[in-house]
Amino acid sequence: MSEDPAPYRSAIDRVIYLLDRGLAPIQKVRAFTKAGVTLDALGADQVQARAKAGTLTRLDGIGPSVDAVVRGAYGVGSTDYLDELERTTTIELGPGRQLREALRGDCHSHSTWSDGGAELSAMAAAAQAIGHEYLVATDHSARLTVAKGLSVERLIEQLDEIEALNQTLAPFRILSGMEVDILDDGSLDLPDEFLARLDVVVASVHHKIHMPAEQMTRRLVTAVANPNVDILGHCTNQKVLNKRRKPSTFDADYVFAACARFDTAVEINCRPERQDPPDGLIELALEWDCRLSIDSDAHAPGQLEWVGYGCDRAALLGVEPQRVINTRSADELLALCA
Ligand SMILES: [Zn+2]
Ligand SMILES: [Zn+2]
């Protein structure tokens, strides 16, 4: 049995979770992460003593917000900071409530195996805590070097970790997967023999996003026709917040016809800055009778809750739960993706 974490640790972990849920600037998350490391090094007894004496801010990297959170955790200060964060980052479900309740897992997530901020075990625990029965680990493929994409060797190591974690997490399951890069010509950034070993494969474009429409159409059709590809990730690559980015252009009729024909689900990517595909394309995917997958693309535990956003969008567009592959059980999903 592992011991319960010290009060300061639980409070800091919760703050980080909520900051991520609220899409807070990464510097803010890092400040709390770093402070947590400093406090861990100090030890729980010292942290408690300093919280009570009000001397935490004399430590390097412990500012007023961390001080307030830790003192709150020991009952020697108010818990306003954390309470406020709980309140302001809550994801209120609207029309998508029923769809959200029908979701049983998430098919797109990242961990420290690539560019995620948390270990796979922490991602799995968070997925379980929000009611999922499974989480597909889809770290990036090697081509995406900025995201520490997985080489074949590291992918194999990850498969071992998944197997070990699943021993302790059962009945919860981590399914193996990858967010494999779609190369310029529509081929994929991992040999087919390895893709075939994975439970669920998401294929996404991450470079040459604005190539001519005709080439992009061919690229996406080629990718989704690969029998190992189960989901087409964030198909337009648009960004709608902060650093905005125009969507890719392609003939969506061809691409969605190919998705329907080759049984590749179209992802509704729930990241607030992506919201991809836009409504018009979701409607077109419905016309082509495509399956959908409502995925968080979480890079941190708190971001797993973003599926709520996608459920609201999908419900408004008339998406029924049976069309969404992650309303299936893990075994049903595996059968679909076999
Ligand atoms: Zn991606
Ligand atoms: Zn991703």
Domain CATH for 278? 3.20.20.140
- Extended beta strands in 129-233, E state: 134-137, 173-181, 200-204, 231-232
Distance 47 CA to ligand 1 centre (A): 39
d(CA 97, CA 311): 7
d(CA 288, CA 269): 19
Distance 75 CA to ligand 2 centre (A): 39
Span 28-57, average pLDDT = 96
Residues 6+ apart with CB under 8 A from 117: 20, 29, 33, 299, 300
Residue 109 and residue 37 share a domain = no
Distance 202 CA to ligand 2 centre (A): 9
Residue 104 and residue 79 share a domain = no
Distance 99 CA to ligand 1 centre (A): 23
* Residue pLDDT, tens place only, 234-282: 999 999 998 899 999 999 999 999 999 999 999 999 999 999 999 999 9
Residue 197 and residue 144 share a domain = yes
d(CA 300, CA 100): 19
Burial 202-212 (b: 16+ CB within 10 A, else e): bbbbbeeeebe
What ligand has the least distance to the C-alpha of 109? 2
CB neighbours of residue 55 within 10 Å: 12
In this structure, is residue 53 part of a structural domain? yes
Distance 179 CA to ligand 2 centre (A): 6
With the C-alpha atoms ordered 110, 114, 118, 124, is the resulting torsion angle positive or negative?
positive
Cut 0.85: pTM above it: yes
Residue 107 and residue 63 share a domain = no
* Residue pLDDT, tens place only, 135-171: 999 999 999 888 899 999 999 999 999 999 999 999 9
Distance 95 CA to ligand 2 centre (A): 26
Distance 233 CA to ligand 1 centre (A): 7
What ligand has the least distance to the C-alpha of 298? 2
In this structure, is residue 1 part of a structural domain? no
Distance 206 CA to ligand 1 centre (A): 6
CB 26 within 8 A of CB 52: no
Residue that is last in its domain, among 73, 89, 105: 89
Residue 214 and residue 67 share a domain = no
pLDDT for 99 equals: 98
Residue 288 and residue 165 share a domain = yes
Distance 94 CA to ligand 1 centre (A): 26
What's the total number of domains in the chain? 2
Distance 188 CA to ligand 1 centre (A): 14
* Residue pLDDT, tens place only, 175-187: 999 999 999 999 9
Distance 79 CA to ligand 2 centre (A): 34
Q: What is the CA radius of gyration of the chain?
A: 21
Domain residue limits at 129: 97-337
In this structure, is residue 2 part of a structural domain? no
Residue 257 and residue 196 share a domain = yes
pLDDT for 1 equals: 46
With the C-alpha atoms ordered 211, 216, 220, 222, is the resulting torsion angle positive or negative?
negative
Q: Which two tokens stand for residue 259?
A: 């998705």
* Residue pLDDT, tens place only, 283-304: 999 999 999 999 999 999 999 9
What ligand has the least distance to the C-alpha of 139? 2
State in Å, rounded, how far the first CA of the chain is from the last one.
37
pLDDT above 70 for 41: yes
What ligand has the least distance to the C-alpha of 106? 2
pLDDT for 2 equals: 59
Residue 278 and residue 189 share a domain = yes
In this structure, is residue 36 part of a structural domain? yes
Distance 234 CA to ligand 2 centre (A): 8
Residue 291 and residue 249 share a domain = yes
In this structure, is residue 284 part of a structural domain? yes
Span 63-68, average pLDDT = 95
Residue that is last in its domain, among 29, 60, 89: 89
What does DSSP assign to residue 231?
E
Q: With CA atoms as reference, report the closest residue to 289 among 265, 308, 312, 317.
A: 265
In this structure, is residue 297 part of a structural domain? yes
Distance 131 CA to ligand 1 centre (A): 24
Residue 26 and residue 160 share a domain = no
Element containing residue 269 per DSSP (H, E): strand 265-269
* Residue pLDDT, tens place only, 202-230: 999 999 999 999 999 999 999 999 999 99
Mean pLDDT of the chain: 96
Distance 109 CA to ligand 2 centre (A): 6
pLDDT for 182 equals: 98
Residues 6+ apart with CB under 8 A from 287: 256
Distance 213 CA to ligand 2 centre (A): 23
In this structure, is residue 26 part of a structural domain? yes
* Residue pLDDT, tens place only, 99-145: 999 999 999 999 999 999 999 999 999 999 999 999 999 999 999 88
Distance 248 CA to ligand 2 centre (A): 17
Amino acid in position 233: G
d(CA 199, CA 335): 9
Residues 6+ apart with CB under 8 A from 157: none
In this structure, is residue 261 part of a structural domain? yes
What ligand has the least distance to the C-alpha of 178? 2
CB 174 within 8 A of CB 165: yes
Distance 249 CA to ligand 2 centre (A): 20
Span 81-98, average pLDDT = 96
Residue that is last in its domain, among 89, 124, 157: 89
Residue 84 and residue 107 share a domain = no
Residue 101 and residue 85 share a domain = no
